[in-house]
A and B are shown apart, each in its own frame.
Chain A
């Protein structure tokens, strides 16, 4: 049997310093140094703090991921080129270039979102059947992606304003809850009544596969304002969280269902941190089951949030296609990188 490529990957796109070693689709190590605690007081990621933390921890993270593996046995170096925070991306790219040059390894530039898209293929012996539909929901993105081939993607729908994770953060902020908002709201929602507050399901009458969460955010603001602060007790928070989560998830499911109906994917791949939301995950599985479509979910939580193992998986396919960076010195960050230029109709 042909030997699978051994790849060392780095991701510093946002607020996690990450490195991983993958052998084909097997994850040998997946190290993440989380910066959440650093950013919590600010209620969001602060670029400069992220950059400094990346610089401080990158060597340690890379060395831990690489551990006992000999440089000689590594076949390629991979790094996230975008999308993400410009000054954070730079740190990983710089380090990856240095390693690639020092040890004379080919370098693979990876789209962070392709990493999320393919993250469920890690530690998975089954190959996806094409075409597959990707549902990517994270702090910075909400996308429906169709893959007719690995490496060739069509964005069927995306958010027109806030990403789903951003909506969670912003509503959590309105409710005076902490950061990040997603886990706090989904925890509260578990004991809440989702029918208590009548919030609009966004984009329900819109024919496209796009998402929009800013209207829901504003509706939440109006609702919260009407309730005097002294009445905002624990049960209010639970009910509000459940009602908000319901509206947001239903809007995702609506578009997801539509995409499955139109494109008949053989499989569905989930990715991104918000997939950790168990209500969303359940609803997606339920919907896919109705169509007899199998759902691939990343094997563990670590593969859902930002990590470098998923970059290694995307890099593995690029390695097979021999898509290496031609001139290592020329490789630059691309903060606005997209899996493709959207080809659907534009709203208004």
Chain B
């Protein structure tokens, strides 16, 4: 588990880029999943924006709360992939995600960011069981005004 403190949204984006770079090589064989845990306003969407930036995505990464899944195609080192941004706030059961076709999103070379994954950690483990994934759990916490304590760990 690594921990750091960011002092504004821009730094949260930079950190996302850094964590992505640390794990980038996984994409050759795996789907990279960022599980973003944190309360309202801790910067989950900012983190996702940072990932989008790292992937060279030009489209604006917006909150996925309305459509639950937003997708953004990208190309990195000549390899195409899709960045999926999910909001799990209102999803309770694995069946609900399965009916949204989440399993089909998991392909080597793709990147998935999930907001509010803590509501169903077991759900996610069940869904991703036996699929080619590397999951990075990211915890975002409010500190003083503007400050966020962010810790992350990866599990293969």
Q: What CA separation (Å) do A159 and B46 show in the bound complex? A: 13
Interfacial chain B residues near A116, Cβ < 8 Å: none
Partner of B45, one of A51, A85, A87, A161: A161
Q: Name the interface size band of chain A.
A: 35 or more
B151 to chain A, nearest CB (A): 20
* Dominant SS among interface residues on chain A: loop
Interfacial chain B residues near A162, Cβ < 8 Å: 45, 62-63, 65
Given contacts A87-B100, A159-B62, contact A217 B40 (CB under 8 A): yes
- CB–CB B58/A47 < 8 A: no
- CB–CB A336/B71 < 8 A: yes
Interface string of B66-98 (1 = CB under 8 A from A): 111111000000000000000001110001100
Partner of B89, one of A44, A83, A163, A217: A44
- CB–CB B67/A158 < 8 A: no
A213 to chain B, nearest CB (A): 9
A43 to chain B, nearest CB (A): 8
Interfacial chain A residues near B53, Cβ < 8 Å: 348
* Dominant SS among interface residues on chain B: loop
On chain B, the number of residues with a Cβ less than 8 Å from chain A's Cβ atoms is 30
- CB–CB B67/A85 < 8 A: yes
B156 lies within 8 A of chain A by Cβ: no
Given contacts A42-B90, A217-B41, A336-B71, contact A86 B101 (CB under 8 A): yes
- CB–CB B96/A222 < 8 A: no
Interfacial chain A residues near B41, Cβ < 8 Å: 214, 217-218, 221
Interfacial chain A residues near B145, Cβ < 8 Å: 222
Counting chain A CB atoms within 10 Å of each CB, the highest count among B13, B70, B100 belongs to B100
A193 to chain B, nearest CB (A): 24
- CB–CB B90/A86 < 8 A: no
B59 lies within 8 A of chain A by Cβ: yes
Q: What CA separation (Å) do A160 and B60 show in the bound complex? A: 6
Q: What CA separation (Å) do A170 and B44 show in the bound complex? A: 14
A240 to chain B, nearest CB (A): 16
Q: What CA separation (Å) do A347 and B60 show in the bound complex? A: 8
- A sample of 8 cross-chain residue pairs with beta-carbon separation below 8 angstroms, ordered by A number, consists of A14-B66, A46-B96, A86-B69, A166-B63, A221-B40, A342-B59, A346-B58, A348-B10
- Which residues of A are in contact with B by a Cβ distance under 8 Å? 14, 42-48, 51, 83-87, 139-141, 158-163, 166, 170, 173-174, 210, 214-215, 217-218, 221-222, 335-336, 342, 346-348
